[in-house]
Amino acid sequence: MAADTEVVRTYPKRKRARISYYISDSEESEDEGKDPKIHSVQISSPPVIEKPLPETRIFPFKSLPAELKNEVYRHALSSEYEIMLVSKIRQYRRVVTLGETDNFQSFRRRRNRWGGMPFGAPNPTQVCRPSLVPNLLVMNREIYAETQPILYGANTFALEDTITLLNFAAGIGRRNCETLRELSLKHYGDSATRKAMNHPAFSMLASAVNLTRLNLDCTVGWGYGISTLGPSIATQFYRDAHHWLDAVGCAKGQRDAAVDIIFLGEENVRRLHLVQLSPPENKQENLKIVSAAFRESLRSLLKRPRD
């Protein structure tokens, strides 16, 4: 009898929450009207792994001839217009940045004590914000060595004032200063505060011994006559820039070598006709006279014996 009896054992079911799987298009959970025991599981698509391009599809830029690469570098790193640089404080650091033409002209209006626009002010139809690609310099060491002379040597940098000149020379370093070729100074420090920055700015520029042109498109001296204006400009400039003048002379093997690369702008003769010493029609002729007197006086200052 015992053998015919089947013993059935029952086990209690485990208490487990019911799970339903479905793809949800929204990440927002809607808890109202749903069973709290039902959970939703979002199935995400597998990540897309980008494979590197094969070598057959990569353009062999480094294998191009040097002439073609230099042409590409010139298009990316040089501008036919002046590159306007202005001073700026960014995160408590004094730096330089690209300046807009309108802001630069309004700056010249504020700094001009005699009113109106200076002769050397940029023309909006001729000056624009350049679109350079300086990121090329950080590609690798080989490209940096090829592009660094083009960026600093193939462009004309227009500096807002001597404070901008100081920040620019200190920011790019001595090696980059050696590759500079052309600078244009738009304002010379004349106030009590800014005048003190003239000498440090040109002292910081002492490593720029390969300059081919330094344009002084600003009022440097304050002489009131044609005969005294040139020597006045030479004396003021020699007082502020004698370190750079001596550095260029030592590099070229001639004391007055820097005189030939300094060019005065029309700003320096603007006062002559503003105070009615000369009509405005004679500004080009007056500039030639003042420039000749400036060069002669500066040469004599550089060649005189020193104690």
pLDDT above 60: residue 158: yes
Tens of pLDDT, residues 182-222: 999 999 988 778 888 999 999 999 999 999 999 999 888 77
Residue 157 CB-half CA count within 13 A? 25
CB 162 within 8 A of CB 190: no
Lowest mean pLDDT among 68-82, 222-236, 293-307: 222-236
Position 50 scores a pLDDT of 74
Kindly state the percentage of the chain with pLDDT values over 70. 69
Q: What's the pLDDT at 121?
A: 43
Identify whether the C-beta of residue 132 lies closer than 8 Å to the C-beta of residue 154.
no
- Of the listed ranges 10-24, 139-153, 253-267, the least confidently predicted one is 10-24
Beta bridge partners of 84: 158
For position 134, what pLDDT does the model report? Answer: 86
Average pLDDT over residues 88-115: 65
| 129-158 burial code (b ≥16 CB/10 A, e <16) | eeebeeebbeeeeebeebbbbbbbbbbbbb
Q: What is the pLDDT of residue 180?
A: 95
pLDDT of residue 160: 92
Query: What is the pLDDT averaged over residues 107-136?
Result: 52
Mean pLDDT for the stretch of residues 276-296: 79
Go through 92-101 and write b for each residue having 16 or more CB atoms within 10 A of its CB, e for each that does not: eeeebeebeb
Contact yes or no for 237/218 (Cβ under 8 A) = no
State residue 279's pLDDT score: 61
The pLDDT score that the predictor gives to residue 118 is: 38
- Mean pLDDT over 102-107 rounds to 48
What is the reported pLDDT for 112? 46
Q: Specify the pLDDT at position 43.
A: 60
Most confident of 93-97, 124-128, 271-275: 93-97
Secondary structure of residue 98 in the 3-state scheme? strand
For strand 262-264 and strand 213-216, is the pairing parallel, antiparallel, or unpaired?
Answer: parallel
- Minimum mean pLDDT among 67-71, 173-177, 272-276: which range? 272-276
Look at residue 207 in the predicted model and tell me its pLDDT: 94
In DSSP terms, 90 is beta-bridged to 93
Alpha helices per DSSP H over the chain: 66-77, 101-111, 141-153, 162-177, 198-204, 226-252, 270-274, 283-303
Q: According to the model, what pLDDT value does residue 122 have?
A: 45
Q: Give the confidence band of 293 by pLDDT, cuts at 50, 70, 90.
A: very high
